[in-house]
Chain A
């Protein structure tokens, strides 16, 4: 087993692909289907489609179900703003292999357990943007839209519920700083599943 080259594609509520800089500035790249098709042709190892939810009235399931006819042969994960209702809709006839969770790991384990029963635990992926300031690790909570300290319970949930974790260095995102590998010292999660 070796490193995988993964591509994380951010989506806005109109289904357009976004480029993100430093976790606060976003630029529209264009049609997500073209982006996926390009990444598929390029043969990246896997693609994660994330809707970075902010504000009311965002319908994740609508955005995600519109992508149903996307024909790519690269492993695909989707996530962002998932809840009981839209999970039932999008897992009914999935075109992806895995679901990506963030705030539900903090808040509502039952939903993830239900998905696990339906799709298997191998289909559960955690999305963890982080910042590391003054030797303190903070993880992004998408529902609260802020970076928070994590409890032992969070790590327990992560270990028992999630198959793998995507770590995103929010300080370095879209910059040339480089990933802060010091984060590995703070993780209470098997390194081979990161």
Chain B
């Protein structure tokens, strides 16, 4: 059986790259542009956009409430870069933007408005995760590789989640129940990105 993944499409974000990434992992990508198009598969919120514009479009299509509802009912949510940041309560981007509030915390500019671009190491072993994270039962249980970051804002979480903070204070990822937020771009992280998708879906 091929699993269908819902990719939120509000006319922003590198959706093409996300589609390639999911196909490479033998999943079937489906673009969601309105609330009637959702399936029960995982929902991916892509990155490469700005928070204000993105939230505005989500709201105008009523996708914001639908994503929250589906998340609360246990559907898997994967937020990538901006898609991760808008899972928080609020973002400083675009003079301040109220976000989805699925993770307790705020998104701020990196100190001194610096930028964080490049590759960082990632190690996840699902057998060692003590938090409640809904990893599927699979033979592959860990990844060890590198992932690509390209962002100017960072999320600061108050929730007790399974997370990894980089040496520069940036939250690399945060997993909580059925929510998988990643500041990096797994769709552009070569083999590690594919391994990661297979690990969480």
Contact = CB atoms under 8 A, between A and B. Distances in A.
A93 B48 contact: no
B24 A73 contact: yes
Contact of B189 (A73, A123, A190): A73
Interface stretch (B69-77, B98-106, B126-134, B146-154): B146-154
Interface string A163-194: 11000000000000000000000000010110
Interface string B110-140: 0000111111100000000000000000000
A37 interface: no
A103 to B, nearest CB: 23
Contacts of B49: 118-120
Contacts of A4: 117-119
A123 B20 contact: no
Interface of B: 11-17, 20-21, 23-24, 48-50, 52-53, 82, 93-94, 114-120, 148, 150-152, 168, 185, 187-191, 193-194
Contacts of B93: 120
Nearest to A44: B190
A163 B117 contact: yes
22 contacts: A1-B117, A4-B117, A4-B119, A45-B118, A45-B148, A46-B148, A71-B23, A94-B15, A95-B14, A97-B150, A98-B150, A117-B50, A117-B53, A118-B12, A119-B12, A119-B48, A120-B151, A121-B152, A122-B115, A163-B115, A163-B117, A164-B115
B148 A75 contact: yes
A43 B11 CA distance: 29
A2 interface: yes
A156 interface: no
B11 A97 contact: no
Nearest to B52: A117
A54 interface: no
B48 A123 contact: yes
A96 interface: yes
Contact of A163 (B20, B152, B185, B187): B152
A26 interface: no
Contacts of A46: 148
Contacts of B193: 73
Nearest to A5: B119
A188 B190 CA distance: 34
A74 interface: yes
Interface in A44-76: 45-46, 68, 71-76
Contacts of B12: 118-119
A71 B20 contact: yes
A46 B17 CA distance: 14
A93 B118 contact: no
Contacts of A2: 118-119
B23 to A, nearest CB: 7
A92 interface: yes
B163 to A, nearest CB: 20
A117 B189 CA distance: 25
Nearest to B189: A73
Contacts of B194: 73
Nearest to B115: A163
Nearest to A163: B115
